[in-house]
């Protein structure tokens, strides 16, 4: 039997069925609210993941550009890697056959007349980036190392003559030998050095303003030092 209030409406507290329905609705609202909270957390997580992936993509894109730049600007002084025919035709190899590794031929011991000549190490990319902008101006990494390569060529050529037996020297080599001896000082004793005349003699470099700018960079990078005297500037390999 239903009970009506004065206004003719059913009293919620007096009807057990309505109370049960209201309780169920309240429980479902709580469940829905929890699902909405989880959904909000999931959305935040996906947004963070998307942001991280975007940053990763940008980093990879920058790395790809750097690799392409390095690929297109490989310094010419780096040794060339040669691929043997066996590696090129990899399909000709039998996967079950053990690979034979050939041992390198033993290097010949240098004779007593041969001596190791100290050469100038190439500039690294980190060193190049550390050179002040006013000093390197528009010079590139490769241009500086190309000059180092030519200076090393002059050093090796000079000391090859100095280490050569005098009896086997030509008249030109003998004249150069005497010049080299005259140019030595107490400060250069035990060190390898060249002068501008050696650069002109053994390389195709132009001893101009650009050349001296690069020498200044090499002094900055501690690749060489200068010893002056007798109207000459001696570039000592450090």
Give tens-digit pLDDT for 51-107: 778 878 877 887 787 787 777 777 666 666 555 555 445 555 555 555 555 555 555
β-pair partners for 228: 233
Range ranked top by mean pLDDT from 22-26, 108-112, 230-234: 230-234
| 119 — pLDDT class (breaks 50, 70, 90) | very high
Q: Is 10 helix (H, G, I), strand (E, B) or coil?
A: strand
Rounded CA separation 76/57 (Å): 32
pLDDT at 115 over 80: no
Strands 224-229, 193-194: pairing is: unpaired
| 145 — pLDDT class (breaks 50, 70, 90) | very high
Q: Is 140 helix (H, G, I), strand (E, B) or coil?
A: coil
Q: Determine the average pLDDT of the residues in 16-30.
A: 86
- 184: buried, middle or exposed (CB in 10 Å: 19+, 13-18, 0-12)? middle
Q: Give yes or no for a contact between 134 and 97, defined as CB atoms under 8 angstroms apart.
A: no
Q: Say if pTM beats, i.e. exceeds, 0.75.
A: no
Q: Give yes or no for a contact between 199 and 154, defined as CB atoms under 8 angstroms apart.
A: yes
34 or 215, higher pLDDT: 215
CB atoms closer than 10 angstroms to residue 224 = 19
Q: How many contiguous H segments (helices) and E segments (strands) does the chain have? A: 8, 3
pLDDT at 4 over 50: no
Euclidean distance between the first and the last CA atom of the chain, given in angstroms as a whole number: 111
For the chain, what are the domain ranges? 18-70, 125-237
* Dihedral sign from CA coordinates of 182, 163, 177, 234: negative
pLDDT at 1 over 50: no
Radius of gyration of the chain (CA): 40
Average pLDDT, whole number, for the chain? 82
Q: Determine the average pLDDT of the residues in 220-230.
A: 95
Q: In terms of CATH, what superfamily is 125-237? A: Ska1 microtubule binding domain-like (1.10.10.1890)
Q: DSSP labels for 189-210?
A: TTS-EE-HHHHHHH-----SHH
Q: Give yes or no for a contact between 160 and 201, defined as CB atoms under 8 angstroms apart.
A: no
* Dihedral sign from CA coordinates of 195, 200, 205, 208: positive
From 210, 185, 184, select the one nearest 198 (Cα to Cα).
184
């Amino acid at each position: 039997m239903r009970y009506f209030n004065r206004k003719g409406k059913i009293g919620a507290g007096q009807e057990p069925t309505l109370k049960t329905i209201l309780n169920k609705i309240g429980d479902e609202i709580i469940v829905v609210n929890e699902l909405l909270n989880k959904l909000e957390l999931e959305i935040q997580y996906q947004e963070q993941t998307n942001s991280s992936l975007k940053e990763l993509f940008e980093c990879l894109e920058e790395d790809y550009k750097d690799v392409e730049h390095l690929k297109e600007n490989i310094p010419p002084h780096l040794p060339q890697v040669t691929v043997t025919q066996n590696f090129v035709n990899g399909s000709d190899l039998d996967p079950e056959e053990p690979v034979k590794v050939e041992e390198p031929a033993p290097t010949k011991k240098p004779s007593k007349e041969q001596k190791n000549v100290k050469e100038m190490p190439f500039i690294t990319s980190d060193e190049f980036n550390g050179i002040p902008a006013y000093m390197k101006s528009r010079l590139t990494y490769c241009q500086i190392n190309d000059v180092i390569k030519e200076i090393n060529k002059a050093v090796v050529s000079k000391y090859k003559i100095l280490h050569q037996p005098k009896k086997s020297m030509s008249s030109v080599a003998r004249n150069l030998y005497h010049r080299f001896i005259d140019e030595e000082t107490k400060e250069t004793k035990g060190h390898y050095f060249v002068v501008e005349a050696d650069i002109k003699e053994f390389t195709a470099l132009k001893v101009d303003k650009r050349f001296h700018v690069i020498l200044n960079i090499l002094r900055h990078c501690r690749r060489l030092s200068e010893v002056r005297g007798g109207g000459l500037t001696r570039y000592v390999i450090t």
